[in-house]
Amino acid sequence: MNVQIQSVKFDADKKLIEFVENKMSKLERFADRATGAEVILKLDKDFEKGNKVATITLHMPGEDMVAEHRARAFEEAIDEAIDALKRQIEKFKEKVK
């Protein structure tokens, strides 16, 4: 699966990019029909809810799945967004059956 990682308003360090790639490779086991994914990491001004926002768009044949999560750390936001995508994939698979 082709994963594009984009960081907005900051430069993602190598450690964060490797973390995203590792998590997305694990997600690929669930989304066996996925053709690609986009991960957008951005800084926001809302410090109370967390200023790190991760948006993951998973491209599937016939449908794109999107999950966005906000947290105080990018790793936490990415984990939560991937968990949301896993739930969406499970619902999608049940619907297809």
Q: Which of 96, 26, 88 is nearest to 59 (CA)?
A: 88
Average pLDDT, the chain: 90
Q: Which two tokens stand for residue 77?
A: 């936001």
Percent of the chain with pLDDT over 70: 99
pTM, full prediction:
0.89
Summarised one tens digit per residue, pLDDT across range 48-87 is: 778 899 999 999 888 899 999 999 999 999 999 999 999 9
Residues 76, 79, 70, CA angle at the centre, nearest 5°? 50
CATH of the domain at 86: 3.30.160.100
In eight-state DSSP terms, residue 68 is E
Total of domains in the chain: 1
Give me the domain span that covers residue 86.
2-96
The reported pLDDT for the residue numbered 43 is 92
pLDDT confidence of 29, banded at 50, 70, 90?
confident
